[in-house]
């Protein structure tokens, strides 16, 4: 189990209290402004520029994303096991990238299931189509998303998996709305993202990741999802895993 410890400057506010404070602030804002979802820190400008470039070197990202030194890749099998997937499930790998989670999902769901590899990067889309040979009999379907939508039909998936990608959402409210539509009632959304803890997380996190766990959780809840659990894995030190459900 991860031990996040205390903030160097003093005791950290318990997570439940922080969530309560954030939720109260959001409720107050929504009651006064009638906005459909809470305001949030802005996504850094140009955060997806490299991925949208025609000059993107996919092999470079395969080495970067699929190296054992990357915590998420090293713990990929433990993550899959923790998700407790079922044969025949319909899963969306949001921001599928090089497709290593897509491949693992395909093994889990079998021929009766479907895995939607959703991407906005032209080069990653091309790589995914080549990797999974979508013309053959395979559970994988490659889907071109947009900056504001996952482009999936209503109630088409049982699980949306968002790993180190949510902080790249340029229009999080719109993207979450499209996910809420795509996930069947009773289906799940699993978020994996970086810890962003003052005094503990590296500086690049604060430059790259616009907000921390409490804000991301509050945004997803405001989009109509209910938080169910935080999944604890011994090998994850820099990332957290949250599971949500779309209410029936």
Please state the three-class secondary structure of 48-106 as a single string.
CHHHHCCCCCHHHHHHHHCCCCCHHHHCHHHHHHHHCCCCCCEEEEECCCCCHHHHHHH
pLDDT (tens digit, 9 = 90+) per residue, 91-148?
A: 999 999 999 999 999 999 999 999 999 999 999 999 999 999 866 668 999 999 999 9
pLDDT of residue 139: 94
231 within 8 A of 70, measured Cβ to Cβ = no
Residue 122's nearest CA partner among 50, 66, 72, 222 is 50
What distance in Å separates the CA atoms of residue 56 and residue 229, rounded to the nearest whole number? 36
Topology (CATH level 3) of domain 15-245: Rossmann fold (3.40.50)
What distance in Å separates the CA atoms of residue 164 and residue 179, rounded to the nearest whole number? 16
Residue 200's nearest CA partner among 31, 3, 34 is 3
pLDDT of residue 58: 97
Six-digit token pair at 235?
């090998």
Task: Estimate the crossing angle of helix 213-222 against helix 172-182, to 10 degrees.
Answer: 50
Residues belonging to the chain: 248
Residue identified by tokens 């902080």 is 167
What ranges do the domains of the chain cover? Answer: 15-245
What distance in Å separates the CA atoms of residue 123 and residue 58, rounded to the nearest whole number? 7
What stretches in the chain show pLDDT beneath 70? 1-40, 134-137
What distance in Å separates the CA atoms of residue 95 and residue 150, rounded to the nearest whole number? 9
Q: How far is residue 39 from each of residues 16, 21, 35, 53, 224, measured CA to CA in Å?
A: 21, 15, 9, 29, 15
48 within 8 A of 95, measured Cβ to Cβ = no
Contacts 24+ apart (CB under 8 A), 61-69: 61/97, 61/98, 61/124, 62/98, 65/97, 65/98, 65/100, 66/98, 66/100
Six-digit token pair at 89?
């499930």
pTM, entire model: 0.84
């Amino acid at each position: 189990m991860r031990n996040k410890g205390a903030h160097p400057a003093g005791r950290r506010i318990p997570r439940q209290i922080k969530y309560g404070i954030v939720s109260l602030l959001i409720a107050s804002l929504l009651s006064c402004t009638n906005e459909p979802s809470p305001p949030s820190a802005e996504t850094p400008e140009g955060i997806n520029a490299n991925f949208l470039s025609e000059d993107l070197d996919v092999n470079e990202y395969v080495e970067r994303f699929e190296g054992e030194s990357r915590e998420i890749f090293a713990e990929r099998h433990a993550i899959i096991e923790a998700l407790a997937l079922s044969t025949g499930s319909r899963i969306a790998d949001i921001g599928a990238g090089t497709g290593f989670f897509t491949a693992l999902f395909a093994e889990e769901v079998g021929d009766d299931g479907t895995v939607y590899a959703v991407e906005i990067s032209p080069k990653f889309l091309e790589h995914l189509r080549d990797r999974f040979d979508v013309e053959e009999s395979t559970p994988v379907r490659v889907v071109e998303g947009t900056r504001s939508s996952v482009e999936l039909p209503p109630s088409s998936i049982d699980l949306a998996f968002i790993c180190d990608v949510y902080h790249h959402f340029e229009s999080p409210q719109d993207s979450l709305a499209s996910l809420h539509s795509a996930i069947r009632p009773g289906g799940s959304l699993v978020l994996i993202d970086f810890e962003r803890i003052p005094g503990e997380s590296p500086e690049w996190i604060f430059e790259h990741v616009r907000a921390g766990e409490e804000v991301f959780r509050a945004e997803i809840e405001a989009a109509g999802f209910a938080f169910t659990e935080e999944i604890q894995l011994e090998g994850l030190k820099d990332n957290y895993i949250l599971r949500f459900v779309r209410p029936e």
